[in-house]
Amino acid sequence: MIPRLKELYLNKVMPALTARFGYKNRHQVPKLVKVVVNVTTKEAVADSKVLDVIADDLAMITGQKPVRTYAKRAISAFRIRQGMPLGVKVTLRGDRMYEFIDRFFNLATPKIRDFRGFPLDSFDGRGGYSLGLSEQVIFPEIEVAKVKKVFGITITFKTTAQRDDETRALLEELGMPFAKRK
C-alpha cells in the first residue's frame, strides 16, 4: 500500500511545483530524499546507558532501530574523548520516511506548545531544512506516563531542490506549517 503523503506528492505536489517553477521535465521537480532524526545529549558523557533509553524512544517514534553516533575528535573542555558515544540517529528513506513525515506534520506538530510555525531561516541553501524539538512527548507513539528521560530532537529534511525557495515550496505543499513573515 502506498503511503498517503507519497500519493499526495505524486498527484498534487508534483503538478503544482511544475506549474509554479516551470519545470520542463518531471525529474527536475524537487523530491524528498531522506529525513534524519538525531538526538545528542551531554549526559551520555557521564553515563552511556542514557543512550539506550533514548534509542528505545527513538525506535518507537520512527519505526526503525537507531544507530549510535560517536565523537570524531576529543574536546577537553567538555570532557569528551575521541570515539566516545554521544547520541543516536535514524535515517529514514522511502515509504517509512513518508509515513513519519505524515505523522509528524499532522499529529505531532499540533501538540507543540505555543507553536507559531517552523522558522524560515533554517534552510541550508542546498535543499536541506533542519528543525529542533525540545521534547519527544509530542509524538503519539510515546506514552507520557512511561517516559524515563525527556530529550530534544533534531530533524533534517534533505531534498533534491537546488534553492531555498524550491525546498520551502515542496515542504509547504506537503503540509509543513512555516511561520508567517513579519
Q: Do the beta carbons of residue 53 and residue 118 sit within 8 Å? A: no
- pLDDT, tens digit (0-9, with 9 covering 90-100), for 43-70: 766 777 788 888 888 999 999 999 998 8
pLDDT value, residue 154? 94
pTM: 0.89
Residue 108 gets the label, from left (phi > 0), alpha (psi -120 to 50) or beta, of: alpha
Range 4-17+30-174 has CATH code 3.30.1440.10? yes
CA-CA distance, 101 to 105, in Å (whole number)? 6
Cell numbers given for 47: 553515563
Domain boundaries, the chain: 4-17+30-174
Residue 144 has pLDDT above 90, yes or no: no
Cell numbers given for 106: 499532522
Strand order in the sheet with 153-159: 67-70, 85-92, 32-40, 153-159, 128-133
